[in-house]
Structure 1
Amino acid sequence: MERYSRQMLFNKIGAEGQRLIGSRTVLIIGAGALGSLSSELLARAGIGKLIMIDRDYVEHSNLQRQTLFTEQDADDKKPKVIAAKERLQSIRPDLEIDAHIAHCDGPLLTELAMDADILLDGTDNFDTRLLINDVAYKASKPWVYAACVEASYSSCGFVPDATPCYRCLVPVLPSTTLTCDTAGIIAPAVQMAVAEQVTTAIKILTDQYEAPYYLRIGNVWDMEHMKYKVDAMKDSNCMTCGCAPVYPAFEEENTDNAMRLCGRDTVQVIDGRLTAEVVNHTLTRLDMKVNRTPYFQEFHYSGQRFVCFNNGRILIHGLHDMNRAKTLINQLFG
């Protein structure tokens, strides 16, 4: 245990806390700025297992704040969860990591949550957080929210039967339509959000997360750091954690096979028929120039850049019109 000796000297953890951390499994949804840093901190803290899910790949614009990734990862357009897994296992070869290159939907998230002790939010949009909230409360799993944009950050831990849920707090959460892709972000804001998030997660994992409970909000540029007590914010009529929960995020989840990615001129299309074999056959028949990797096939068509993952998920860059995206898919694949 020499590796964790300094952490064990901290009297809130000690030998028993370290044992608990080493026995736990954490599901991290999103492997971008938040998820990459939280996974590294947990790996270095001695977590037993990480489950990671992310649908994207590393780009050069990520390197300013997404600390696990390298220039080579961006050059190779390596899927984020694969790049993260490789880096984390170079830090800790004994760490078990279950990596999923996939879109986070209700059924997959529910399946992965069953094997986790806690869920960590590494996403960048409101709808996915509502889904995480519903999955966590339906499965009676704690989860920790984190968000950041520009120089601001926020974080809060949620525990079924103990705290109000994320849906209860929506009226008091920072209201913004800004994203990192539209308003930018500085790395210290990410690090503050993750510092709060991972500390809360470690408290939960070592059975030390107790009332009073707080939503923490800050701005690193202005050096403002605030906390708001949330114990009394539980809504007895809440559709997720109230007296008669119905978990509406499952019903509200977008069932369309095309969606715009938050803050980006990119449309994602999911079609299970478009396997790697089908895509490869079509591109070969059309004699198109293709960049093939173990994870996806990349090519240009009708002025747009396509990235076709091996499971029928396609990203069309430089586009925001979902109907146009579907038209292009039909033109290519019928």
Structure 2
Amino acid sequence: MAHTGRYSRQQLFSGIGEAGQERLLRSRVLIVGVGALGTVSANHLARSGVGSIRLVDRDYVELSNLQRQTLFTEADVEEVLPKAIAAKQALEKINSTIEIEAFVEDVTEKNIKTFMQDVDVVLDGTDNFQTRFLLNDASYKYGVPFSYGGAVSARGMSAFLEPGKTPCLRCFIQSGASPGETCDTVGVISPVVDIVASLQAVETIKYLVESGKNRRSLTSFDVWTNYSHSLAFQEPKVDCPTCQLQHYPALEAQSEAETTLCGRNTIQITRQQPIDLTQWATKLERSAQIKSTPFLLRATLTEGETLVLFPDGRVLVQGTEDLVRAKSLYSKYIGN
């Protein structure tokens, strides 16, 4: 085998062996959200030899990310690199023999089917339940397993959800529940991120090598208080709209034009048309301090807020959670 040297220690493990390694090399995984969980998971899967990894993230690297988002460096912060691009560059240095795709986009009900095309597992690297329920519903509609994970403070949770064999995320967590605490409101320590993402990665690897050993439980823990609990999967809820009634509410919902990014002091506004970064750099340079890259345009306004423009039509208004204020700034500098 051409890859024997690279993966020799992994192949010595009886649960994988040469046959399992060949399956990994033929596998395709989608990682949505390339932040804390996404970078750790991607690192494990790339080093393990998953043949194709598709990364999707809407954000760019900031200094506060470096404490726990393990693929990024200070240079990525200086260059204002999108997370998907920075992660792709890092992973290609780790394993140049596999395919890494990177998309700087917001995953919505309009494009999730395209991103899921031909993948074997969808891995959750997101930081909000709105997107998680979208991934959950898409996974069950299209029959693709969903490796769920979440981490905040010192607490973590994970489960490997398999359409037709296990309950879905909606059977455990109500979609109308409060968004609760986030890393941006109560913080997070990096070891808990590594633990959750490692659980997500190992369950993904188990599935891809056809081990038949996937955990059938929802695992939760607090590494600071030494608490841990495993909730064995029960029968799905009979009225679950996703895995029982097949209504897939997140796929039928319409994305809002304005979205508050919880705890980020940022509001995202989505235009209906693409943004020409070069053109907008010229327009905004007279009224803002500009930082332009091939992937985004950052304009620091005299009012104190910052606009971040992406080619796919998204504009982040950073420095406020006041929707009226954000829309006012957007209208003043971007227009309709």
Length-normalised TM-score, structure 2: 0.93
Q: Is 1:226–2:200 an aligned residue pair?
A: no
Aligned to 1:6: 9
Q: Is 1:251–2:252 an aligned residue pair?
A: yes
Q: Is 1:82–2:63 an aligned residue pair?
A: no
Aligned to 1:262: 262
Q: For 1:1-334, list aligned pairs within 5 A.
A: 1-170=4-173, 177-210=180-213, 213-230=216-233, 232-242=234-244, 244-253=245-254, 255-271=255-271, 272=273, 274-284=275-285, 286=286, 288-301=288-301, 302-334=303-335
What stretches of structure 1 move > 4 A for 4+ residues in a row?
none
Output the CA distance in 2 between the equivalents of 1:147 and 1:46. 24
Shift in Å at residue 263 of structure 1?
A: 1.6
Change in CA separation of 1:67 and 1:203 when aligned onto 2, cut-off 3 Å: same
What amino acid sits opposite 2:289 in the alignment?
K
CA contact (8 A) 2:290 2:297 kept: yes
Output the CA distance in 2 between the equivalents of 1:287 and 1:186. 39
CA contact (8 A) 1:213 1:229 kept: yes
CA contact (8 A) 1:276 1:312 kept: no
Output the CA distance in 2 between the equivalents of 1:262 and 1:18. 40
Shift in Å at residue 106 of structure 1?
A: 1.3
CA contact (8 A) 1:22 1:48 kept: yes
Output the CA distance in 2 between the equivalents of 1:54 and 1:178. 21
What amino acid sits opposite 1:204 in the alignment?
Y
Shift in Å at residue 226 of structure 1?
A: 2.1
What amino acid sits opposite 2:292 in the alignment?
R
Q: Secondary structure at the match of 2:96?
A: coil
- Of 219-228 and 20-29, the range deviating more from structure 2: 219-228
Output the CA distance in 2 between the equivalents of 1:273 and 1:19. 40
CA contact (8 A) 1:106 1:131 kept: yes
Identical-residue share of aligned pairs (%): 38
What amino acid sits opposite 2:281 in the alignment?
N
Output the CA distance in 2 between the equivalents of 1:75 and 1:333. 25
Output the CA distance in 1 between the equivalents of 2:178 and 2:156. 12
CA contact (8 A) 1:239 1:248 kept: yes
Output the CA distance in 1 between the equivalents of 2:22 and 2:55. 22
Unaligned runs of 5+ in 2: none
Shift in Å at residue 276 of structure 1?
A: 2.1
Q: Secondary structure at the match of 1:123?
A: coil
Shift in Å at residue 191 of structure 1?
A: 0.9
Output the CA distance in 1 between the equivalents of 2:236 and 2:213. 16
Shift in Å at residue 175 of structure 1?
A: 7.8
Length-normalised TM-score, structure 1: 0.94
Shift in Å at residue 55 of structure 1?
A: 0.6
Shift in Å at residue 212 of structure 1?
A: 6.4
What amino acid sits opposite 1:60 in the alignment?
L
CA contact (8 A) 1:268 1:316 kept: yes
What amino acid sits opposite 2:74 in the alignment?
E
Q: Secondary structure at the match of 1:267?
A: strand
1:195-236, Cα deviation, whole Å (9 max, x unpaired): 211111111111224576111111111222221101x23123
CA contact (8 A) 2:109 2:252 kept: no
- Of 26-35 and 175-184, the range deviating more from structure 2: 175-184
Change in CA separation of 1:287 and 1:167 when aligned onto 2, cut-off 3 Å: closer
Output the CA distance in 2 between the equivalents of 1:64 and 1:211. 30
1:64-102, Cα deviation, whole Å (9 max, x unpaired): 111101111112221101110000000111121110001
